[in-house]
Homo-oligomer: A and B are copies of this chain.
C-alpha cells in the first residue's frame, strides 16, 4: 500500500537571500552568546571574511536587524552596532502595519477592551503610589476646561485615551499593559474613529472626566471589585457611543 501521505510541510526549499541569512545568523549569535541590551556586537562577527559576504550585504543585514529594533548603530570611535531592547512604541509601530489594510471594526476592538481594561483597573487597586497618582491627575488636567476650538476638542479626545495609556503603563503585568496600549493605539488610528473624534461632543467630556475621577478614587481606596465594575461600565458606555456615532455618520454619508 503506497502511502498517500501528504506532508504538511515537506521542507522549506526557500531560496533565501544572503542578507537574510546573515541577519538570522547574527540574531542567533546574539542570543547564543547571551548578549544583553547595551552590549556591543564584536566587529569580528561582521568582518567580510567571517561572514563571507561583502560590506553592502552585511549592511543590509544590519539594516534588517535595526528595523526589527534589535540593534542601533553609532558612528565615530567606539561606535558600532549595539544590542537594544525593542521598545514598546517601536513594537506598536511595527504592529500598526498589520492593520494598515484590513482595519478592524470598533466593535472588534471594544470586545477586547471590555475584557482587559476592567482587569487592568482591578489589578491597580491599592497599588497607586504618589508618582502614579500624579501622572493620572496630570492627564485629567489637560481637559478640565471646555475646549474652545475644534482642534482643542480633538486633542482632548486623544488625551482621554492617554488616561488609559498611563493606567496601562502602571500595570505590574507588562503584557496586559502592552496589549491595552495596543488596543488604544489601534482605536486612535482608526480612520472611522478619527472622524468621530473630530466632531464636537459636548456632553462626552464631562462623562469621561466623571469616570476618571471616580476611577482614581476607587484605586486609591483599594477597591478592586469597584474599579473593575466601573471600568467595565465605562467601556460599555464608550462602545455604545462610538457605535452610535459611526452609525449616524454612515447614514449621513449615504444621503449625501
Contacts and interface: CB of A to CB of B under 8 A. Distances in A.
A178 B19 CA distance: 29
Copy number in the complex reads 2
A111 B174 CA distance: 11
A112 B123 CA distance: 12
Nearest to A19: B63
A98 B108 contact: no
Contacts of A36: 101
Helix, strand, loop or mixed for chain A's interface? helix
A10 to B, nearest CB: 17
Given A63-B67, A85-B98, 20 more contacts: A36-B101, A59-B60, A60-B63, A67-B67, A68-B97, A69-B98, A70-B97, A70-B100, A85-B101, A85-B102, A86-B97, A86-B100, A94-B95, A98-B178, A99-B175, A111-B173, A112-B173, A112-B176, A112-B179, A115-B119
A79 interface: no
Interface string A20-36: 00000000000100001
A91 B186 CA distance: 15
Contact of A91 (B19, B86, B98, B108): B98
A116 B112 contact: yes
Given A60-B59, A94-B68, A85 B100 contact: yes
Interface of A: 19, 31, 36-37, 56, 59-60, 63-64, 66-70, 85-86, 88, 91, 94-95, 97-102, 104, 108-109, 111-112, 115-116, 119, 173-176, 178-179, 186
A104 B175 contact: yes
Nearest to A23: B67
Nearest to A183: B175
A65 to B, nearest CB: 8
A59 B19 CA distance: 11
A40 to B, nearest CB: 16
A119 B115 CA distance: 9
Contacts of A63: 19, 60, 63-64, 67
B69 A67 contact: no
23 contacts: A37-B101, A56-B56, A56-B59, A60-B60, A60-B63, A63-B64, A64-B64, A64-B66, A64-B67, A69-B98, A70-B100, A85-B100, A85-B102, A86-B98, A91-B94, A91-B97, A102-B174, A104-B173, A104-B174, A108-B176, A111-B119, A112-B173, A112-B179
